[in-house]
A and B are shown apart, each in its own frame.
Chain A
Amino acid sequence: GAGVSQTPSNKVTEKGKYVELRCDPISGHTALYWYRQSLGQGPEFLIYFQGTGAADDSGLPNDRFFAVRPEGSVSTLKIQRTERGDSAVYLCASSLGGAKVGELFFGEGSRLTVL
């Protein structure tokens, strides 16, 4: 597709369950980012990938959160033992590789609700 695609659009789960959120970036974009956005707040950085490797994972809140990008394209954000506080919209973005490239292109996000 032409844009960043995220699935599922909405996910409702129970406390303690495991969830996976998927991001399919724009073709050719080597950088991929995950953000978390709570209601009424700005997006908070979680992790970014350059190719297959996590170049900066400083925003992951704890070891229940993990992300992979095994082939340098699609990425999966994995959350173990979900808690009610994990409820948020999870945004994915991609951009071209290389230095001094400014724009990130965002998907529509995956809304996670933990009951």
Chain B
Amino acid sequence: AQTVTQSQPEMSVQEAETVTLSCTYDTSESDYYLFWYKQPPSRQMILVIRQEAYKQQNATENRFSVNFQKAAKSFSLKISDSQLGDAAMYFCAYRSFTGANSKLTFGKGITLSVRP
């Protein structure tokens, strides 16, 4: 079974600075998706960024980028120019390619606070 580990329960960043959130995972599969989701107090999970394991290039979405290290099974999220609206819980998640629409497996999440 796949597992996702987020070992940092909380992090804090100064507004306009850069922060990196860590995630590791365990799988025996070679092809899969990885995601970072943001969950604000409204509870709705919002997709931040996704990475397909067969792509060597790291995904980037505006201020958000990932450092995907397949051999190390590491998938960290970098948030540049942090904004107050970035404060939320962030979850790393894994999804298998095996079979259509297989489940997402989430880590425990990290609470990010942004200091003005």
Give the contacts of B80-116 with A (CB-CB under 8 A): 91, 95, 97, 99-109
Residues of B contacting A102 in the complex (Cβ-Cβ under 8 angstroms): 33, 35, 50, 52, 95
Give the contacts of A69-115 with B (CB-CB under 8 A): 89, 91, 93, 95, 97-104, 106-109, 111
| Closest Cβ neighbor of B102 among chain A residues | A56
Count of chain A residues with a beta carbon within 8 Å of a chain B beta carbon: 30
Contact (Cβ within 8 A) B108 A42? yes
Q: How far is the CB of B40 from chain A (nearest CB, A)?
A: 10
Contact (Cβ within 8 A) B106 A43? yes
Q: How far is the CB of B88 from chain A (nearest CB, A)?
A: 13
Contact (Cβ within 8 A) A100 B109? no
Count of chain B residues with a beta carbon within 8 Å of a chain A beta carbon: 27
Contact (Cβ within 8 A) A108 B100? no
Contact (Cβ within 8 A) A48 B103? yes
Q: Does A65 contact B (CB under 8 A)?
A: no
Q: Does A12 contact B (CB under 8 A)?
A: no
Residues of A contacting B37 in the complex (Cβ-Cβ under 8 angstroms): 106
Q: Does A53 contact B (CB under 8 A)?
A: no
Q: Does A41 contact B (CB under 8 A)?
A: yes
Given contacts A102-B33, A102-B52, A102-B95, contact A33 B103 (CB under 8 A): yes
- How many angstroms from the CA of A89 to the CA of B46 in the assembled complex? 16
Contact (Cβ within 8 A) B44 A108? yes
Q: How far is the CB of B26 from chain A (nearest CB, A)?
A: 15
Q: B: which residues have CB within 8 A of A?
A: 4, 6, 33, 35, 37, 42-47, 50, 52, 91, 95, 97, 99-109
Additional pairs, 6, CB under 8 Å, beyond known A89-B43, A95-B101, A100-B97: A41-B109, A42-B6, A98-B101, A99-B101, A108-B44, A109-B43
- Report, nearest first, the 10 A-B pairs whose CB atoms are least far apart: A42-B106, A106-B45, A31-B101, A99-B100, A45-B103, A109-B43, A108-B44, A102-B33, A42-B108, A108-B43
